[in-house]
Amino acid sequence: MNWWQRLLRRDKSEEELEKELNFHLELHTRDLIAQGYTPEEARRQARLALGGPEQVKEMCRDARGTRWLFDLLQDLRYGVRILAKQPGFTAVAVLALGLGIGVNTAMLSTVNGFVLKPLPVEKPSELIEPFWGRKIDNQVWGLFSYANYVDLRDQNKTFSDLCAWSEISAGISSSETRNAGDTERAEVLWGELVSANYFDVMGVKPVLGRDFTPDEDATPNAHPVVVLGNQLWQRRFNSDAAIVGNTIYLNGVPFTVVGVMPESFLGSTFYLRKAFYVPSMMAHTFGRRVEWRTDRSYATFKAYGRLKPGVTIAQAEADLNLVGASLAQLYPTENADTKIQLTTEADGRFADGTRVILYGGLLALFVSGLVLVVACANVANLMLARAVTRAKEIGIRLAIGASRGRIVRQLVTESLLLSLLGGLLGWAIAYEGTQLIRASFPPIPYPAVIDFTPDGYVLKWMLAVSLLTGVIFGLAPALFASRTDLVAVIKGAGAGASQRGRRLNLRGALVVAQVTISIVVLICAGLFIRSLGKALKTDPGFRSENLVTMMINPGLLAYDQPAIKRFFHQLQRNLEAQPGVRSASAINEMPLAVARISSGPIVKEGEIDPPPNKGLYSDTSIVTPQFFDTMQMPLVQGRDFTERDDAEAPRVVIVNQEFARRFYGTAESAMGKRFRFAQGTPLMEIIGIAKDGRYRSLYEDQQTYIYLPFYQNARAGMTLIISAQSTAALPEVVETGRREIAQLDPRMPTYGVMLGNENMEFAYLAPRLAAGMGTTFGVLALVLATIGLYSVMMYAVSQRTREIGIRMALGAQVRDMLRLIVSQGMRLVLIGIVLGLAGAFALTRALGSLLLGVGRTDSVTFLGVSVLLIAVAFVACYIPARRAARVDPLVALRHE
């Protein structure tokens, strides 16, 4: 029988036990009567011989191994009764725990949703990701050229299979061209070029149709076939089961749909949802250079693989590097100094950008963990206070023979009950909280996978945390209570003063701990709020309120360079003629947006290239003429680019003030100077100096920046920027933009449209989240600590009623009493504040750059938080003190 079967059959086995013993007693009585005993005496003798029936039953339960279950049920029933009898205590405790567990679960869900969730593939922890790089680099995160990938795949001895994939985007339509009257929405999709073995390596099967045959990935451009992502299939094709065999147009090229992937599968990356998959041989259709298959320096592919059974990552890495070394010998120009590094896919995630998110997440988890500690201290405090009122009950139970272990078990069961109720509430809070966090995210112009809903992993952790907290805050008070001095307790509450003193000290220590942690959390919150304030006040160097931005990419439609230039030239001209439009231009990556591009090393005219891994880089944008006017980003020196700065004209460049300062001393001396990027790119003359701005984040130290002219460096993927005459005109200008683009090419999709200050949302995201969470945690910690202090003070007053009565009778004034009680509480608070400030000082030192641009020992925050806490704590002490002062000496003395 399982224990749960026993549980269900408990009544039956109890009944049988009873019946069995009764039968025994009956027969024995009968025999004794036959021996001449009177019926009464016979019954007595039979009972004596058997021993107390209840004890025998208990021993039988023990023997059957159902005893603990029996006890547990009893404890639970008793616990529920006790908790129901004190709804106030129960509510406060469950609320405190629920909040503590809730914020932690929400935080964990968020971090989990960002970076921890495994890919929905077969055995995700065994998916191995190789990176290609050079020996001189510590860590390599590089991509593979297709030719190198093929050699590695075919020559390694340690992988059971190795696949390749590459992120692409494409415009989708259901016909080759769209007419002006066509209502079909033009849209840009993210997808992947994949090798034929890709789906086998990932271990996912299509829900409809099939995946690719090796044949389909053997000859360039021969097999235009596509597998659709589930969401695209649902959204655009209404989950049409007959989709397989139909034709869709990607970048104007017809593709045959051969399959649909399951809903859970989102592609190779954990952050971006992919809408379609095509064989890698179709690369040219998606803007890859014609020589993509043969040029070993053209690295655009990532790889995933599975190891053969028994092979370790280190062995596989050594094996791939052997192949890499031979490739380096065969093709020294492209492959010299090859180094290949292997990680699991999960570890490979923390390459660069996501590491900040991970650290930020860990910090948030740490702070929310502190809140949970405060909540636990609070409940422990309540439990201790209650243990005093229950001392009599426990004393009696000990006196009539309950073992200490049994009492402790009983009390811990109660606290586990509390913590599970708290966990339940916490789950609800976390669920709502994660929706709130999700909703606070700005629109991101990519199909980002941001699912913060708590999953099984989070649930498991939350349960563990709930149980752990239950044991932590339950065990100490339970051990304490069970050590009760029996005689003292039963004689009356007045006795046992030493016990009470100790208990009060423990409770005092808990209050000090709560105040300490609250200070730390509040200071974190304060610093984050200050940092948000600083962000909102920071001048990004451009005016966003009248801007409309939208992304377009003629490269998706296979425009060549001259066509791209013509397109943007015409578009800019047409837009500027429209009503409501002040000015229009384009840039490849907006400042303070998601992506950024860095160029270098920078070599001044007359200097030689720096050695490898040396030299300075600078973030760079490619902009069309009028960019500085559209962005209202003034040029402090020189002139703007014009359309005459094209491929035939001398190379020109505009830099920011910081660049001029750093490389040439002043803006004046930088004008007219020439520099180049290493490895033989042509010299560029500085024709203008732009005002400094913010480029990567609002907190950065002043960065250098380079603007390159579009007509000398044309890119296909550009963000169109339109400056409206007024903020009111923004929606109208969006329509104007779309219309003018469609006028030039009706197939051209626009995406990532942002209005006005939405362009700043991404820059504000981190400080907003930090300030929002910091404030939530800070307020929670403050409230919990205040409740803790208040309850301790109330308890102290109630315990000292008699003493206060005597003092009052001897002539103490109300003011004396107030001072007595308040100073007792404030002493604890001050100790806590001093400890907390020291802790916060140490913590903020460790945080460093995560504090987003606020000084580590920001005195305003430290001082402000201390004052806030003292004020709140004073109120929490003053109310109990008022009560003490109102004690009527007569009543107090009669109290005993």
Partner 1 sequence: MAHPKSDLPQGTLDLLILKVVALGPVHGYAIAQRLEQVSRGVVQIPQGSLYPALHRLENRGLLVAEWDASETGRDAKFYKLTRKGRSQLETQAAGWDRLTKAVSLILKLSEGGAK
Q: Among residues 13 and 757, whose Cβ is nearest to partner 1?
A: 13
- Asked if 64 interacts with partner 1 (CB under 8 A), we say yes
If the CB atoms of residues 23 and 78 are measured against partner 1, the closer one turns out to be 23
Task: Determine which residue in the list 7, 50, 322, 879 makes contact with partner 1, applying CB under 8 A.
Answer: 50
Only one of the segments 48-56, 113-121, 178-186, 720-728 lies at the binding site for partner 1 (rule: CB under 8 A); that segment is 48-56
| Other beta carbons within 10 Å of 605 | 11
Angle separating helix axes 353-389 and 391-399, nearest 10 degrees: 70
- Count of residues in contact with partner 1, rule CB under 8 A: 22
Rule CB under 8 A: is residue 472 a binding residue for partner 1? no
* C-alpha–C-alpha distance, residues 79 and 88, integer Å: 15
Nearer to partner 1, 46 or 652 (CB): 46
Q: Return the sign of the alpha-carbon dihedral for residues 359, 361, 362, 368.
A: positive
Closest approach of partner 1 to the CB of residue 489, in Å: 34
Strand-pairing partners, residue 279, are 194
CA neighbor of 553 nearest in space, from 641, 466, 445: 445
Only one of the segments 12-20, 170-178, 262-270, 717-725 lies at the binding site for partner 1 (rule: CB under 8 A); that segment is 12-20
Which of 12, 15, 18, 19 lies at the binding interface for partner 1 (CB under 8 A)?
19
**How near is the Cβ of 47 to partner 1 at its closest, in Å?**
10
8, 12, 15, 59: which one contacts partner 1 (CB under 8 A)? 59
Token pair of 419, please?
Answer: 């913590």
* Closest listed residue to residue 773, CA positions, set 532, 595, 564: 532
30/77 with CB nearer partner 1 = 30
Q: Does 56 bind partner 1 (CB under 8 A)?
A: yes
Question: 296, exposed or middle or buried, with CB in 10 Å at 0-12, 13-18, 19+?
Answer: middle
What is the DSSP-derived secondary structure letter of residue 247? E
Pick the binder of partner 1 from 15, 16, 607, 668 (CB under 8 A).
16
- Region of 22-30, 406-414, 752-760, 880-888 interacting with partner 1 (CB under 8 A): 22-30
Number of H helices, E strands in the chain: 28, 23
Q: Does 365 bind partner 1 (CB under 8 A)?
A: no
CB of 24 to partner 1, least distance (A): 5
- Determine which helix (DSSP H) or strand (DSSP E) holds 585, and give its type and residue range: strand 581-587
Residues between 65 and 84 that touch partner 1 (CB under 8 A) = 65
Nearest CB to partner 1, comparing residues 3 and 78: 3
Structural contact between residues 158 and 311, judged by C-beta atoms closer than 8 angstroms: yes
HEC string of 786-847 equals HHHHHHHHHHHHHHCHHHHHHHHHCCCCHHHHHHHHHHHHHHHHHHHHHHHHHHHHHHHHHH
Which of 9, 24, 596, 882 touches partner 1 by CB under 8 A?
24
Decide: is 735 part of the binding site for partner 1 (CB under 8 A). Answer: no
Nearer Cβ to partner 1, position 60 or 490? 60
State which H helix or E strand residue 694 sits in: none
Q: CA-CA distance, 400 to 420, in Å (whole number)?
A: 31
Among 20, 176, 215, 700, binds partner 1 (CB under 8 A): 20
- Using omega within 30 degrees of 0 as the cis cutoff, is the peptide bond preceding 601 cis? yes
Of the candidate residues 15, 39, 41, 49, the single one contacting partner 1 (CB under 8 A): 49
In the complex, what is the shortest distance from the CB of residue 413 to partner 1, in angstroms, rounded to a whole number?
25
Selected from 34, 63, 242, 810, the binder of partner 1 by CB under 8 A is 63
CA distance 7 to 183: 65
Span near partner 1 by CB under 8 A; candidates 50-58, 494-502, 519-527, 803-811: 50-58
Binding window for partner 1 (CB under 8 A); candidates: 43-51, 95-103, 300-308, 529-537: 43-51
Report the C-alpha gap between 628 and 643 in whole angstroms. Answer: 14
**Of the two residues 48 and 84, which places its CB atom closer to partner 1 in the complex?**
48
- Are residues 513 and 422 in contact, defined by beta-carbon separation less than 8 angstroms? no
| DSSP for residue 439 | H
Which residue from 55, 74, 174, 329 is in contact with partner 1, where contact means CB under 8 A? 55
**Out of 3, 12, 15, 27, which residue is the one contacting partner 1 (CB under 8 A)?**
27
> Which one of 12, 15, 23, 213 is in contact with partner 1 (CB under 8 A)?
23
Q: Does 21 bind partner 1 (CB under 8 A)?
A: yes
DSSP class per residue in 709-750: EGGGS--SSEEEEEEESSGGGHHHHHHHHHHHHHHH-TT--E
Nearer to partner 1, 50 or 140 (CB): 50
Residues at the site binding partner 1, with contacts judged by CB under 8 A: 16, 19-21, 23-24, 26-28, 30, 49-52, 55-56, 59-60, 62-65
